Every structure is written in structure tokens, then in C-alpha cells.
Amino acid sequence: MSVERAELVTLGGDRGRTDGTDGMRRMGRMGRPDRTLICVPHAGGSAAAFHAWHRVFGPRGTAVLAVHWERRDGSEHRSSIEARAASLAAAARELQGPWILLGHSLGALIVAEAVRQLESSPGPLPERAVLCASTPPGTPRTFPPDVLQASDARMAAYVRRLGGTDERILTDAEFGPRLLAALRADLDLIERYAPDFTRPLATPVSVYGATADRDVPVQSLEGWRRWAPEARVRVFDGGHFFPHEDPAAICRAVTADCAPGEPDRSLR
């Protein structure tokens, strides 16, 4: 099922409009799910990154929703991780049944912030938060400093180092500049993020990384225990975009982490 045909679900109602958000796309169709997985994309990414995840999660009884952030031109509009997290938190609480939050890279920071906000107010909480390919808040970043002013050449070099982006898109006269502009705007969210974690997260947390991720070294994953002391850390094969290289492996890990009792230690 293509993303263009996916059902658009309102994200946080009208409250999300001023935060640059407009919905979540429901990937695939299924009956009454056991739980819902809400996926938040990486910097410069979109809901399209998760377009095929329903094929592996659906048979396990998990519906997949992917967050869609509205892109606006012009420097007069600057969102924030806190604002996006607030929209995500509001939308998640409108869902029926258990739900899981999963974020990739920038999305992981948005998910962690959303959980912090959810735990600060009465109401349902996620069954689990899954943080993929992200160093914890406060960690030095590897993208160009003062990212909004970085040249296209420096941004393109950063994208190539991360991998996961088709060179034909990066060098396309129309799509290349649009991709880099979206990436700059999203990385600016990270550059300006000043988290206010006054206490550790109580929600169960999983932290996933990859052996060949040059942006998020495996040893940095343990740093998340400052915010989630009981976090389950798993290391996969692949680079920064490992969740999309093998969604089935992510599905197995998430399913195991959400199962009662101890997780399957044989999973990587």
C-alpha cells in the first residue's frame, strides 16, 4: 500500500497546527489491533520511511501509524522538539487500546520528550518508548554547527556520511535542495533543544543502535540510562538507517521487549 493511499489521522487536532504538524498516516489496513505503533521519522524524513512496516508488524497484531510533519517555507516559522512532542502526546492519548512510541534519530528525541510531557500530566501512557539511532540529550552533535547557515556542500557531505539517501535524489536539481532545506530545519530543532528532565522516565524504554552507525556510536547508547535507568539496549547490524534496512528485526525486538517477563536475550 502506497503512502499516498494511506489514511491520514489527525495529529493532536487543531492544537497541532501551530506546531507544523498535520497528521499521522495509517500504514496498511487491519481489523482491531492488539496495539498501535506510532513511528516518528528522522531529520529531513517523512512518514514515507515507514510505508512497508505494516507488512511485518501487522501479522503480529500491531497497527502502524507514521507521523507526518507539515513543511512550511520561510524562516518565520520555527517549530521545536517540545512543540512537536506536545502534538504527538495529544494525538497518542486519543487512540484506543495500548500504543507504543518509536522514534528514529531526531524522532527518538521527540519521543523521549513526548514521554516526559505525558508523565507530567494525568492520562494514559505508552506501553513502551523505542529510541532508535540517537545519542541522548546533551551529547555533542556531528552535524555542521549553526546548521541553518551551513552550505549545501557541507550538508550534502553530512548526508553522504550517514548513508541511506539515494545519490540521485541528493544531486537532483529540484529535490536535492528541498531535502537539504528540510534537513537543516529539522537539525536546527536538535541544536536548539534544551531538555527539562527533572526525573528519570518511568515508562519502559528500549534503546536501539547499530554497529556501523558513524553518527551514534554503540558506546553512546548507555548514556540514555541517565534518563531511563532500566532501559533495554539492543545493538543491530547496519548503519544509521538500520531500522529501515531490516524492519523485521525491529519488529522482533519490539515484540520481545513488550512481552511479559524478560526479553529474548538471543535477539540482537
Q: Which residue has the higher pLDDT, 31 or 177?
A: 177
Grade residue 76 by pLDDT with cuts at 50, 70 and 90: very low
The ranges assigned to domains in the chain are 3-142+196-258
Higher local confidence (pLDDT), 30 or 108: 108
pLDDT at 11: 47
* CATH entry, 3-142+196-258, from 3.40.30.10, 3.90.420.10, 1.20.1050.10, 3.40.50.1820: 3.40.50.1820
* CA distance to 47, 165, 220, 231, 244, per residue, from 158 (Å): 22, 11, 19, 29, 19
C-alpha separations of 180 from 105, 153, 172, 254 in Å: 16, 10, 11, 31
pLDDT, residue 1, reads 27
Strands (DSSP E) contained in the chain are: 7-9, 21-27, 35-40, 62-69, 99-104, 128-132, 205-210, 232-236
What are the backbone dihedrals phi and psi of residue 234, each rounded to the nearest 5 degrees, phi first?
-125, 145
Q: Determine the pLDDT at residue 189.
A: 94
197-209 pLDDT, tens digit per residue, is 889 999 999 999 9
DSSP per-residue letters across 168-202: HHHT-TTHHHHHHHHHHHHHHHHHH------S---
pLDDT in tens, 124-174: 999 999 999 999 988 888 888 888 898 999 999 989 988 878 888 888 888
Confidence of residue 262 (pLDDT cuts 50, 70, 90): low
> Which of 25-39, 73-87, 193-207 has the lowest average pLDDT?
73-87
Residue 222 has pLDDT above 60, yes or no: yes
Residue 22 C-alpha from the chain's centroid:
16
Q: In what order do the strands lie in the sheet with 205-210?
A: 7-9, 21-27, 62-69, 35-40, 99-104, 128-132, 205-210, 232-236
Give the three-state DSSP class for 209.
strand
What's the pTM? 0.88
Residue 97, helix vs strand vs coil: coil
Question: Which residues are within 8 A (CB) of 35 and not within 5 positions of it... i.e. 6 or more apart?
Answer: 61, 62, 63, 97, 98, 99, 100, 127, 258
Torsion sign over Cα 61, 37, 210, 268? negative
> Is 3 a residue whose pLDDT tops 80?
no
